[in-house]
């Protein structure tokens, strides 16, 4: 699945919350997930479909129930894509920390 599909799926706060629930509480039927939202069950099912189409959740059928579970691989691909940006900001923050330490040393020395 393309990163564009994953980012589009993650754009919705409701879909991010569905992923959080699946991460923290494990696989669940759609009905149990829908109980956690102030929206209709068909709306929650549509959000789950978007997540499934993006490869972020997997669906299995157990009788009449559809069970959903988190699929972390697309998130790992996004993490890998974000890696260089994280290093960029880490370097900027380290430089800022060094500057602030130098400023603090200058203030202490002038007293």
Residue 83 confidence (pLDDT) = 86
Residues 49 and 8 sit within 8 Å (Cβ to Cβ): no
Q: Which residues pair with 59 in a beta bridge?
A: 68
Please tell me the predicted confidence (pLDDT) of residue 86. Answer: 84
Mean pLDDT for all residues in the chain: 90
Q: Is the pLDDT of residue 110 over 60?
A: no
Q: How far apart are CA 11 and CA 47, in angstroms?
A: 11
Q: What is the 3-state secondary structure (H, E, C) of the chain?
A: CCHHHHHHHHCCHHHHHHHHHHHHHCCEEHHHHHCCCCCCHHHHHHHHHHHHHCCCEEEEEECCEEEEEECCHHHHHHHHHHHHHHHHHHHHHHHHHHHHHHHHHHHHHCC
Distance CA 64, CA 62 (A): 6
pLDDT in tens, 8-56: 999 999 999 999 999 999 999 999 999 999 999 999 999 999 999 999 9
Task: Say what the pTM is.
Answer: 0.75
């Amino acid at each position: 699945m393309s990163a564009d599909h994953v980012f589009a799926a993650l754009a919705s706060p409701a879909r991010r919350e569905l992923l959080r629930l699946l991460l923290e509480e494990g696989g669940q039927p759609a009905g149990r997930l829908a109980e956690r939202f102030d929206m209709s069950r068909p709306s929650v099912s549509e959000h789950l479909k978007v997540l499934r189409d993006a490869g972020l959740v997997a669906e299995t059928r157990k009788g009449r129930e559809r069970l959903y579970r988190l699929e972390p691989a697309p998130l790992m691909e996004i993490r890998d894509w974000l890696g260089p940006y994280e290093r960029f900001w880490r370097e900027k923050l380290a430089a800022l920390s060094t500057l602030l330490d130098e400023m603090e040393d200058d203030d202490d020395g002038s007293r």
